Amino acid sequence: MTKIKNIVFDLGGVIVDLDANRCMAGFKKLGLDEIAELINPYHPAAMIGEMEHGDITFHEMCNKMRAYVHREDIRDEEISWAYNQLLVGLDRSKLRLLDTLRERGYRIYALSNNNPMSIETVREMFQADGKTMNDYFDGIYLSFEMHLLKPGREIYEKMILLSGMDPRESLFLDDSEINVNVARELGFSVYKPEVGEDFSPIFDHMELFEKEE
Protein backbone atom coordinates (compact mmCIF):
# COMPACT_ATOMS: atom_id res chain seq x y z
CA MET A 1 0.00 0.00 0.00
CA THR A 2 1.43 3.38 -1.07
CA LYS A 3 0.87 5.93 1.67
CA ILE A 4 0.02 9.57 1.00
CA LYS A 5 2.94 11.78 2.01
CA ASN A 6 2.24 14.98 0.04
CA ILE A 7 -0.89 17.12 -0.35
CA VAL A 8 -1.10 19.67 -3.15
CA PHE A 9 -3.74 22.41 -2.93
CA ASP A 10 -5.04 24.74 -5.57
CA LEU A 11 -5.46 28.22 -4.05
CA GLY A 12 -8.47 29.94 -5.66
CA GLY A 13 -11.66 27.96 -5.15
CA VAL A 14 -10.07 25.54 -2.67
CA ILE A 15 -8.17 27.52 -0.02
CA VAL A 16 -9.33 31.02 -1.04
CA ASP A 17 -13.03 31.55 -1.72
CA LEU A 18 -13.88 33.04 -5.14
CA ASP A 19 -16.91 34.92 -6.48
CA ALA A 20 -16.85 35.58 -10.22
CA ASN A 21 -20.17 37.46 -10.04
CA ARG A 22 -18.72 39.90 -7.52
CA CYS A 23 -15.75 40.45 -9.83
CA MET A 24 -18.04 41.06 -12.81
CA ALA A 25 -20.06 43.53 -10.75
CA GLY A 26 -16.85 45.38 -9.89
CA PHE A 27 -15.97 45.89 -13.55
CA LYS A 28 -19.55 46.93 -14.33
CA LYS A 29 -19.33 49.51 -11.55
CA LEU A 30 -16.39 51.01 -13.44
CA GLY A 31 -18.47 51.01 -16.61
CA LEU A 32 -16.40 48.17 -18.09
CA ASP A 33 -19.23 45.81 -19.01
CA GLU A 34 -17.19 44.35 -21.88
CA ILE A 35 -14.45 43.30 -19.43
CA ALA A 36 -17.02 41.88 -17.03
CA GLU A 37 -18.11 39.47 -19.74
CA LEU A 38 -14.53 38.15 -19.97
CA ILE A 39 -14.34 37.06 -16.33
CA ASN A 40 -14.20 33.29 -15.93
CA PRO A 41 -11.85 31.80 -13.30
CA TYR A 42 -11.75 28.46 -15.15
CA HIS A 43 -11.29 29.78 -18.69
CA PRO A 44 -9.57 33.18 -18.44
CA ALA A 45 -9.66 35.57 -21.36
CA ALA A 46 -6.49 35.72 -23.44
CA MET A 47 -5.14 38.91 -21.83
CA ILE A 48 -5.68 37.51 -18.33
CA GLY A 49 -4.17 34.18 -19.35
CA GLU A 50 -1.08 35.96 -20.67
CA MET A 51 -0.64 37.65 -17.28
CA GLU A 52 -1.14 34.38 -15.41
CA HIS A 53 1.41 32.75 -17.73
CA GLY A 54 3.90 35.49 -16.86
CA ASP A 55 4.13 36.74 -20.45
CA ILE A 56 2.93 40.26 -19.64
CA THR A 57 2.93 42.40 -16.50
CA PHE A 58 -0.19 43.54 -14.70
CA HIS A 59 0.29 47.04 -16.16
CA GLU A 60 0.54 45.58 -19.66
CA MET A 61 -2.67 43.65 -19.08
CA CYS A 62 -4.34 46.87 -17.95
CA ASN A 63 -3.21 48.49 -21.20
CA LYS A 64 -4.83 45.64 -23.13
CA MET A 65 -8.06 46.09 -21.18
CA ARG A 66 -8.05 49.85 -21.78
CA ALA A 67 -7.51 49.28 -25.50
CA TYR A 68 -10.22 46.60 -25.59
CA VAL A 69 -12.88 48.97 -24.19
CA HIS A 70 -11.41 52.23 -25.59
CA ARG A 71 -11.20 53.75 -22.10
CA GLU A 72 -7.80 55.31 -21.48
CA ASP A 73 -9.12 57.03 -18.33
CA ILE A 74 -9.35 53.81 -16.30
CA ARG A 75 -6.40 53.55 -13.91
CA ASP A 76 -4.45 50.40 -13.05
CA GLU A 77 -5.59 50.76 -9.43
CA GLU A 78 -9.25 50.65 -10.46
CA ILE A 79 -8.71 47.53 -12.55
CA SER A 80 -6.83 45.95 -9.66
CA TRP A 81 -9.73 46.72 -7.29
CA ALA A 82 -12.31 45.25 -9.68
CA TYR A 83 -10.30 42.12 -10.46
CA ASN A 84 -9.56 41.45 -6.82
CA GLN A 85 -13.30 41.39 -6.10
CA LEU A 86 -12.91 37.82 -7.32
CA LEU A 87 -11.08 37.01 -4.06
CA VAL A 88 -13.74 36.79 -1.35
CA GLY A 89 -11.62 35.69 1.58
CA LEU A 90 -9.82 32.91 3.39
CA ASP A 91 -11.49 31.23 6.34
CA ARG A 92 -9.09 30.81 9.27
CA SER A 93 -10.23 27.20 9.58
CA LYS A 94 -8.36 26.52 6.32
CA LEU A 95 -5.17 27.95 7.82
CA ARG A 96 -5.55 25.76 10.87
CA LEU A 97 -6.22 22.76 8.66
CA LEU A 98 -2.93 23.35 6.85
CA ASP A 99 -1.14 23.62 10.18
CA THR A 100 -2.74 20.39 11.41
CA LEU A 101 -1.81 18.48 8.26
CA ARG A 102 1.82 19.55 8.57
CA GLU A 103 1.82 18.55 12.24
CA ARG A 104 0.58 15.12 11.12
CA GLY A 105 3.67 14.81 8.96
CA TYR A 106 2.34 15.61 5.50
CA ARG A 107 4.29 17.84 3.16
CA ILE A 108 1.99 20.61 1.93
CA TYR A 109 2.20 22.37 -1.43
CA ALA A 110 0.27 24.96 -3.45
CA LEU A 111 -0.07 24.85 -7.24
CA SER A 112 -1.99 27.82 -8.60
CA ASN A 113 -2.75 29.67 -11.79
CA ASN A 114 -2.16 33.16 -10.44
CA ASN A 115 -0.73 36.58 -11.21
CA PRO A 116 1.54 39.12 -9.50
CA MET A 117 -1.34 41.41 -8.58
CA SER A 118 -3.76 38.91 -7.02
CA ILE A 119 -1.10 36.93 -5.18
CA GLU A 120 -0.30 39.98 -3.03
CA THR A 121 -3.90 40.07 -1.84
CA VAL A 122 -3.79 36.31 -1.23
CA ARG A 123 -0.56 36.63 0.77
CA GLU A 124 -2.24 39.25 2.98
CA MET A 125 -5.13 36.85 3.61
CA PHE A 126 -2.68 34.21 4.82
CA GLN A 127 -1.49 36.59 7.56
CA ALA A 128 -4.79 36.29 9.47
CA ASP A 129 -3.20 34.15 12.21
CA GLY A 130 0.02 36.13 12.39
CA LYS A 131 2.01 33.96 9.99
CA THR A 132 3.00 34.33 6.35
CA MET A 133 1.86 32.26 3.40
CA ASN A 134 5.28 30.60 3.23
CA ASP A 135 4.79 29.29 6.78
CA TYR A 136 1.96 27.03 5.62
CA PHE A 137 3.59 25.34 2.63
CA ASP A 138 6.69 23.31 1.87
CA GLY A 139 6.55 24.69 -1.67
CA ILE A 140 4.45 27.27 -3.55
CA TYR A 141 4.25 26.94 -7.33
CA LEU A 142 2.66 29.86 -9.19
CA SER A 143 1.92 29.91 -12.89
CA PHE A 144 3.22 33.41 -13.61
CA GLU A 145 6.57 32.58 -11.98
CA MET A 146 6.88 29.23 -13.76
CA HIS A 147 5.60 30.52 -17.13
CA LEU A 148 3.30 27.51 -17.25
CA LEU A 149 -0.44 27.09 -16.73
CA LYS A 150 -2.76 24.37 -15.54
CA PRO A 151 -4.10 22.22 -17.09
CA GLY A 152 -0.90 21.82 -19.11
CA ARG A 153 1.03 18.74 -17.98
CA GLU A 154 4.26 20.73 -17.93
CA ILE A 155 3.39 22.73 -14.80
CA TYR A 156 2.63 19.53 -12.86
CA GLU A 157 5.82 17.90 -14.14
CA LYS A 158 7.92 20.91 -13.15
CA MET A 159 6.38 20.92 -9.66
CA ILE A 160 7.17 17.21 -9.35
CA LEU A 161 10.76 17.84 -10.44
CA LEU A 162 11.35 20.82 -8.17
CA SER A 163 9.72 19.30 -5.10
CA GLY A 164 10.97 15.74 -5.55
CA MET A 165 7.49 14.42 -4.75
CA ASP A 166 6.23 11.09 -6.07
CA PRO A 167 2.74 11.56 -7.57
CA ARG A 168 1.80 8.06 -6.35
CA GLU A 169 2.36 9.32 -2.79
CA SER A 170 0.51 12.59 -3.36
CA LEU A 171 -3.06 13.89 -3.10
CA PHE A 172 -4.08 16.77 -5.39
CA LEU A 173 -7.06 19.05 -4.65
CA ASP A 174 -8.45 21.42 -7.28
CA ASP A 175 -11.90 22.81 -8.06
CA SER A 176 -11.45 22.36 -11.83
CA GLU A 177 -12.43 19.03 -13.36
CA ILE A 178 -9.84 19.25 -16.13
CA ASN A 179 -7.05 20.11 -13.68
CA VAL A 180 -7.98 17.11 -11.52
CA ASN A 181 -8.10 14.84 -14.57
CA VAL A 182 -4.58 15.81 -15.67
CA ALA A 183 -3.25 15.20 -12.15
CA ARG A 184 -4.90 11.79 -12.12
CA GLU A 185 -3.27 10.91 -15.46
CA LEU A 186 0.11 11.75 -13.90
CA GLY A 187 -0.46 9.34 -11.02
CA PHE A 188 -1.84 11.61 -8.29
CA SER A 189 -4.75 10.67 -6.08
CA VAL A 190 -7.25 13.48 -6.54
CA TYR A 191 -10.18 15.23 -4.89
CA LYS A 192 -12.40 17.93 -6.40
CA PRO A 193 -14.17 19.98 -3.71
CA GLU A 194 -17.56 21.41 -4.54
CA VAL A 195 -18.13 25.16 -4.20
CA GLY A 196 -18.27 26.08 -0.52
CA GLU A 197 -17.62 22.50 0.62
CA ASP A 198 -15.98 21.82 3.97
CA PHE A 199 -13.58 19.20 2.65
CA SER A 200 -11.61 18.83 5.90
CA PRO A 201 -13.25 15.45 6.78
CA ILE A 202 -11.49 13.73 3.87
CA PHE A 203 -8.21 14.00 5.75
CA ASP A 204 -9.60 11.75 8.46
CA HIS A 205 -9.91 9.01 5.83
CA MET A 206 -6.64 9.23 3.94
CA GLU A 207 -6.67 5.48 3.42
CA LEU A 208 -9.28 6.11 0.70
CA PHE A 209 -6.58 7.78 -1.40
CA GLU A 210 -3.82 5.27 -0.77
CA LYS A 211 -2.96 2.90 -3.63
CA GLU A 212 -2.12 -0.76 -3.88
CA GLU A 213 1.50 -1.46 -4.74
Cis amide leading into 44 (omega within 30)? no
Q: Residue 144 in contact with residue 81, Cβ under 8 Å?
A: no
Active-site annotation holder among 10, 73, 76, 198: 10
CA distances from 5 to 11, 95, 203 (A): 19, 19, 12
Tell me whether residue 76 is one of the annotated catalytic residues.
Answer: no
Question: Any alpha helices (H) in 76-176, and if so which ranges?
Answer: 76-83, 92-103, 118-125, 143-146, 153-163
- Rounded Cα gap, residues 168 and 186, in angstroms: 9
- Rounded Cα gap, residues 183 and 170, in angstroms: 10
Across-strand partners of 2? Answer: 211
From the CB of residue 212, how many other CB atoms can be counted at a distance below 10 Å? 5
Beta-carbon contacts of 170 under 8 Å, excluding residues fewer than 6 positions away, are 4, 5, 6, 7, 8, 188, 189
**Looking at the annotation, which residues are catalytic?**
10
